[in-house]
A and B are shown apart, each in its own frame.
Chain A
Amino acid sequence: MDITFKNVTYIYQPNTPFSHKAIEDLSFQVESGTFMAIIGHTGSGKSTLIQHLNGLSVPTDGEVVIGEYRLSKHDKPRDMKELRSRVGVVFQYPEHQLFEETVAKDIAFGPQNFGVNEAEIGQRIKEIIPAVGLNETVLERSPFDLSGGQMRRVAIAGVLAVKPDVLVLDEPTAGLDPRGQKEIMDMFYKLHKEQGLTTILVTHSMEDALKYADQVLILNKGTKFMEGTPLEVFNEKDALQSVQLDVPEIVQFLNRFEEKFGQTIPFQKQSIKEIAQSIQQIIEGAESR
């Protein structure tokens, strides 16, 4: 589904002494099938943005359009549930939402709410369990007996079981160890490709944005600071630094290399191996002189 934000402003507790503008005049577009990364500091408006994607928040001003659903001050979809069945959200630390007696029941909870029949749910669970890297033996266990990493996967399975068209991921790897982080991100990427999802990833990791995203949106204090392909965005080192954001380590290194050696190795998402070869050539070049 295409996603459009048109001059969206969102104010918490408007008309009170505590009113607080979380998003201001934000506009952007995400084409169906895009993997988009949203980056920004804590408090930059990322969480508020996410809540607009499935109608948990409705803009104070402006308009959000998700597929055929329209959200604005005057215009709310009649059936919010329908929108929520098509936009799946994996919140930060999603294992905190588990509550059923068994893993199977918890995964079935979402689809049941959206009126999927039992046979179909059973079928979906069968498919999803291996996809999230779990074993069928966990299905009848209590989710609270599992390890943290397994609980995370169960919670993710619960969102995927609804079969959304848009997948919103709010720092899905927070608190996992490096192997867990990589496994989870690779899994989402695979799903994104295989099922033609539109994926919105909120992350602090520039490395993940570089690796997976087609499009990057940088938020700062509730407004759009920058938007473009990862290459476009991450080559703007100075602009990013002005809002205390880092560039991916690989880009950072190439920048420093340029400062020191006066020679540029342009970054085009090449592998570390290729970069090593470029460096070697520059140094060899010097040697052969």
Chain B
Amino acid sequence: MSKKLVEFRNVSFRYDEDGPWVLKNCSFEIYENEWVAIIGHNGSGKSTIAKLLNGLLFPQEGEIVIGGQQVNEESIWSIRKEVGMVFQNPDNQFVGATVQDDVAFGMENRGVQRDEMQKRITETLSAVRMQDYRLTEPHRLSGGQKQRVAIASVLAISPKVLILDEATAMLDPSGRKEIMDTVGEIQESSGLSLITITHDLQEVVQADRVIVMNNGNKWREASPREIFLEKDALRTIGLDVPFVAILAEELKHAGVSLKSTPLNQEELLEDLWILHSRT
């Protein structure tokens, strides 16, 4: 197994001293080059995890360690170099007057030299396929395009972890697909650790591991395949079950002896094909 990059040790968090706990005694680890999906209903504590990872919030109990460094007031600026974040609302994170200004913003904050900035802007905009929009103003871009620029902005500071905090929630289906495709490509080519936070089970299929949150607790931690098996339990905590998982189960009820839990239509069809041609 590769190196441990992020560690939550018994982390609890609440906004007010006498308010309810948003996160309760939560522990998990994330490794280098791994894609972890955090899923849960609205208010399950999943977005709080993202903000804790970046030092935008600090836990009342427990500790968070990133790349060997504990997250606290002193370490946040070096932590933020390692952890890049893309938020939900495409408009409210676009700082620059044009696409290239926005990509430059994070680098400017760190005093990167101009030549280096130009080079990295070119690289990261190509990585998210936005190279043709370098001088475009934000109000001329679609939501999906703005989110891709946001991803490029984060990549430009070469972090070790990229967090997408419900980055697709406000997009239409084509925008959502744009982002998921982009993210998949980047994760494959860059060796970055990726944390995607979502309430859409379709978006966890590509992940290596899934952490399911419910009411501030870590409810499950398993591979997407294992999670998909818990159909009824997922429903009770307010999540949707993908069509393929439902069909697979109905098939089993109908007496078709599928041998595994399919993650997508291709796998299910392949399973059925094997059964079909065996006879």
Contacts and interface: CB of A to CB of B under 8 A. Distances in A.
Asked if chains A and B are in direct contact (CB within 8 A), the reply is yes
B240 A178 contact: yes
Contacts of B142: 42
Contacts of B169: 175
Interface string B241-269: 00110110011011110000000010011
Contact of B273 (A179, A253, A260, A289): A260
Contact of A204 (B143, B173, B244, B255): B173
Interface string A241-253: 0001010011011
A276 B247 contact: yes
Main secondary structure of the interface of A (DSSP, over half): helix
A261 interface: yes
B35 to A, nearest CB: 21
B172 A42 contact: yes
Contact of A277 (B240, B254, B279): B254
Interface in A43-69: none
Contacts of A286: 276-277, 279
A253 B279 contact: no
B251 A260 contact: no
A148 B42 contact: yes
Main secondary structure of the interface of B (DSSP, over half): helix
B92 interface: no
Nearest to A244: B174
Interface residues of B, number: 36
Interface in A1-54: 41-42
Interface residues of A, number: 38
A147 B199 CA distance: 17
B108 to A, nearest CB: 32
Interface of B: 41-43, 142-143, 169-170, 172-175, 199-201, 238-240, 243-244, 246-247, 250-251, 253-256, 265, 268-269, 272-273, 275-277, 279
Given A253-B265, A256-B269, A261-B273, 11 more contacts: A149-B42, A177-B199, A177-B239, A178-B239, A180-B42, A253-B268, A260-B273, A272-B250, A279-B251, A279-B272, A286-B276
A-B interface, 8 closest residue pairs, ranked by CB to CB distance from nearest: A276-B250, A178-B240, A179-B238, A287-B279, A280-B254, A177-B199, A249-B243, A177-B42
